[in-house]
Amino acid sequence: MDLKYVQTTCPYCGTGCSFNLVVKDGKVVGTQPYKRSPVNEGKVCPKGTYAHEFVNSPDRLTKPLIKKDGKFVEATWDEAYDLIAQKFKSYKPDEIACLSSARVSNEENYLLMKLARGVFKTRHIDHCARLCHASTVAGLAASFGSGAMTNSILDIAESKCVFIIGSNTFEQHPLIGRKVMQAKLNGGKLIVFDPRYTPTAKQADLYASFYSGTDVAILNCLMGEIIRNGWEDKEWVSKRAKGYEELKATVLKDDYLPENVEKISGISAADLKTAAEWIGTAESSALLYSMGITQHTVGVDNVKSTANLQMLTGNIGKRGGGVNALRGQNNVQGACDMGALPVVFTGYQKVIDEAVHKKFADAWGFPDGICEPKNGYEVTVMFNVLTDNPGELKAMYIMGENPMLSDPDLNHAEHALK
């Protein structure tokens, strides 16, 4: 019997846990702990424990299918590749759109971005980060220059106050929840504000339910209380922050007094004051959020407010601090970093910047150049174009993405694809 362990990364959520795949006679049969991983230290949640099962699922495709007379029939790989190449050759660059994936590797996302812009010459490439964490990319990039967690997952265990808003961390990111519990064991306080009483809320030292959509008012109230009591990190703010006086003028308005925000949000003034004190006076305070605050029309404002709170208290660039956006799929961050977005190349370099555009064209060396230096369509716009301007987009290359699951209006997505 040939038995071996192959170390890999869990394909489920954005935590990035590692485990060993147990391979028996060339077939994946289970998972076992990989204890050297700094992220999960050999522990895996139930999703990770059974993450290998899809590999041997009986309904997985083993051969390409080509549709003939309205029905799929099996084909050889050569037939499939020839058909794909011929079809894509027949379209103009702006008639093609590509959807990359938050579930595949950095290398694959980079290659699809290169295929789209270098071979198809199309501007239109995107992926589903737009539908979950676009607010994070925009909000944190405006605040810090990068739309990613500012701290490591390990840091969370060192935090003296963890503030969770818009995330059911214990169910959705259990191994990050483990770090939160380690912070509690180390004497840290846990604050959870969530409209629902979740498993995460049950572990909180301070939990408050609030009316959905009142996040900015709550965060402004906390900042106002921190400033009124002199808990802000004056040195950090004076040396590193911009626009402090404007922020101060806003959050100190009567609108954001705890007694008034109680009426807006449903959180009692006493709980708001307690939360402000714990965050403002903690040696280090980490803020964790996920899609509970991003999936709003004001998602970018929500994200900027979390950044403002952490800057005000000097919790940026500090162990156990930071603004920590928790990702839903296993490579949302990587797909964005690799440039699978309509407005940027790899590393968030702007497509419309002529110098950046020339740099990529020169590096790739395609004899007939690459796409125009213009922004492309976002995934949501692609589907609007399909329904509103029939004939403008004629081909779509979708890799590891499922618009019929991730799009905000599934009936609209189905109509557009048909």
pLDDT in tens, 386-402: 999 999 999 999 999 99
Nearest of 257, 246, 326 to residue 287 by alpha carbon: 326
**What is residue 295's predicted lDDT score, i.e. its pLDDT?**
87
> Domain range holding 67?
63-89
Q: Are 284 and 313 in contact (CB under 8 A)?
A: no
**Measured distance CA(298)–CA(158) in Å, rounded:** 31
**What is residue 32's predicted lDDT score, i.e. its pLDDT?**
94
**What is residue 2's predicted lDDT score, i.e. its pLDDT?**
87
For residue 2, the SS3 value is coil
**Measured distance CA(2)–CA(276) in Å, rounded:** 58
pTM equals 0.89
In the chain, the N- to C-terminal Cα span, in Å, equals 49
Residues 204, 185 share a domain = yes
HSE value, Cβ hemisphere, 13 Å, CA-based, for 30: 5
**Measured distance CA(247)–CA(155) in Å, rounded:** 28
Which of 299, 325, 351 marks a domain boundary? 325
Q: Burial-class residue 232 by CB neighbours within 10 Å (0-12, 13-18, 19+).
A: buried
% of the chain beyond a pLDDT of 70: 100
**Measured distance CA(229)–CA(224) in Å, rounded:** 9
Confidence band of 383 (pLDDT split at 50, 70, 90): very high
Task: Note the helical H segments in 244-298.
Answer: 244-251, 258-265, 269-281, 291-294
Q: Burial-class residue 370 by CB neighbours within 10 Å (0-12, 13-18, 19+).
A: buried
Residues 101, 84 share a domain = no
Residues 40, 119 share a domain = no
Residues 405, 337 share a domain = yes
Residues 299, 221 share a domain = yes
The yes-or-no verdict on residue 133 having pLDDT over 90 is no
Residues 166, 141 share a domain = yes
Which of 325, 349, 376 marks a domain boundary? 325
The yes-or-no verdict on residue 148 having pLDDT over 90 is no
The yes-or-no verdict on residue 131 having pLDDT over 80 is no
Nearest of 136, 131, 16 to residue 401 by alpha carbon: 131
Confidence band of 141 (pLDDT split at 50, 70, 90): confident
- Mean pLDDT of all residues in the chain? 95
Confidence band of 332 (pLDDT split at 50, 70, 90): confident
The CA-atom distances, in angstroms, between 103 and each of 1, 98, 314, 327, 381 are: 33, 15, 34, 11, 22
Neighbour tally for 305: CB within 10 Å: 25
Tell me the CATH number at 27: 2.20.25.90
Task: Note the helical H segments in 104-168.
Answer: 106-114, 129-132, 134-144
**Measured distance CA(194)–CA(210) in Å, rounded:** 6
Residues 307, 200 share a domain = yes
**Measured distance CA(301)–CA(213) in Å, rounded:** 11
Q: Are 371 and 122 in contact (CB under 8 A)?
A: yes
Please give the residue that has the higher pLDDT: either 128 or 122. 122
Please give the residue that has the higher pLDDT: either 230 or 330. 230
Which of 307, 325, 343 marks a domain boundary? 325
Residues 182, 112 share a domain = no
Residues 311, 234 share a domain = yes
Confidence band of 327 (pLDDT split at 50, 70, 90): confident
Q: Burial-class residue 239 by CB neighbours within 10 Å (0-12, 13-18, 19+).
A: exposed
Confidence band of 130 (pLDDT split at 50, 70, 90): confident
Residues 187, 48 share a domain = no
**What is residue 79's predicted lDDT score, i.e. its pLDDT?**
97
